[in-house]
Amino acid sequence: MSDKPRIALRAWYRVMADDYWFGVQTSEPLVVRSPSNMFMLDAVYDPGPLSDLDGLPTVVIRGYLFDEPDTEILGALKGSGLRTDCRTEAEGQNDGLGACEERYACYLRDRAARLSELSTDAFELLLWRRRIRSGPPSLSTAARSLFWAELPSQAGDLTASDLSWRQVPTGEITLRLPDIDSLDLRPEVGPQLSAMLDSGVRAPLGHVLFREAWRVRESNLRSALVIAVAAAETGIKEYVANVAPDAAWLMENLQSPPLTKILTEYLPTLPSRRDDTVLVPAVPSEWRSTLYRAVEARNKVVHGRVVKLDREQVEVILQTTFDLLCFLDYHCGQDWAWPTRS
C-alpha cells in the first residue's frame, strides 16, 4: 500500500423523484463500489418532511472518489498555497477557481468531471438493470461544490459518515444571470391566439423541439445539441411544406442534403411570403458556420464518438437555431416573428 496520504472527494446530487418515477422502492441505502475506478456511490430516498405538504420526495445520491494527492494539492485543500491575487477567469471557467494556483484548480476540475462521469455511469446502469424508462439526463457537479476528507491509514470498518468532511477551498464566484425569457400575458395578443387556434394553427414542431433542447441544456449538452439540430432540420422541412408544397414530398421521403447546403443553395431559391421580398434572402454566414459545426458534432455524438462540448458552445448553437426558426416564421408571413433584436 502506498505511504501517500489518502483522501475521499464527495459530490452530492438530488433528483426530484416525482419528476421521473411513480414511487421509489427502497429498504436500505443502495451502495455501488468500483475498486478499479477508486469510486463508490450510495443512494437513499428522502420522502420529504411528513408534516409539510410542500415537501418534495427526493433521491439523494452521493458519489465518492478516492485519491492520493501530492503534498502541494493536499496543502491547498487544507487552505495553504492558494493564490489570493485577482485573476481573470478562463473562458467558460467561472467556477471560483480563477484565483487559485493552476495545478490545484485543474485538479479540482478534473476530479469533479470524473465524479460526474462515474456517478452518471453508475446511475445509468441502475436504470438499465432495473428496466426503468425514465431518469435524469446526467448527474453533474461543479468543482466548487466538492467536499473532501482525509482517510485514516487504517480505515477498518469506517463509513463515510464517520469522516470529517470539509468543502474544498475556492475563491470568489461571479454569478451569471440565467438567459431566460419573460412570459408575456398582456391581453392584446389574445385575439391573435384565438384566431390561430380556431383556424387549426399549431406551434411549429421545430419550435417544440427547440424548447425541448433549451430545457435540457443545463443537464445534458449532448441531448441539447442533437435535439437542436433536429429542430433546425425540421424547421426547414416545415418551411418548404408551407411555401413549396410540391417539394415537400421530396424533403420528407428522399435523403435530404446536409443542412448547411440547404441553407446555402436551396433556401435562397424558395419564395418568401413577405410583401417586400420575392425570395428568401441568404442567411448570415455566421449562422451557416455555427450550424455546420453543430451538424458535424451531432453526427459524431449519434455515432458514439466522444465529442467535447461546453455550455457556451451549445448555447450559441441553440440561439442560432432559434434565430433561424424565427427567420423562417417571418418569411412565412408571421410579421411578429422577427422583432428588432438588440
Alpha helices in 101-165 (DSSP H): 102-129
On whether both 123 and 234 belong to a single domain, the answer is no
Counted domains in the chain: 2
**Residue with cell string 496520504:** 5
Q: pLDDT value at position 254?
A: 58
Question: At 242, which amino acid appears?
Answer: N
Please check whether residues 238 and 290 belong to one and the same domain: yes
The residue to which cell 416564421 is assigned:
329
> What tens digit of pLDDT does each residue of 222-255 get?
999 999 999 999 999 999 988 888 776 666 665 6
Query: Where is the domain boundary, 147, 167, 187?
Result: 167
Q: What is the pLDDT of residues 303-314, one digit of tens each?
A: 988 888 888 899
64 falls within a domain? yes
For residues 181 and 44, is the Cβ–Cβ distance under 8 A? no
Question: Could you tell me the pTM of the whole model?
Answer: 0.64
> What is the SS3 assignment for 1?
coil
- Answer for the pair 226, 302: CB distance below 8 angstroms, yes or no: yes
d(CA 261, CA 327): 17
Residue 158 and residue 285 in one domain: no
Strand, helix or coil for residue 94: coil
All 3 cell numbers of residue 101?
Answer: 494556483
Q: Which domain holds residue 13?
A: 7-167
How confident is the model over 15-45, as pLDDT tens digits? 888 888 887 888 788 899 999 999 999 998 8
Nearest CA among 60, 332, 9 for reference residue 165: 9
- Same domain, yes or no: 328 and 204: yes
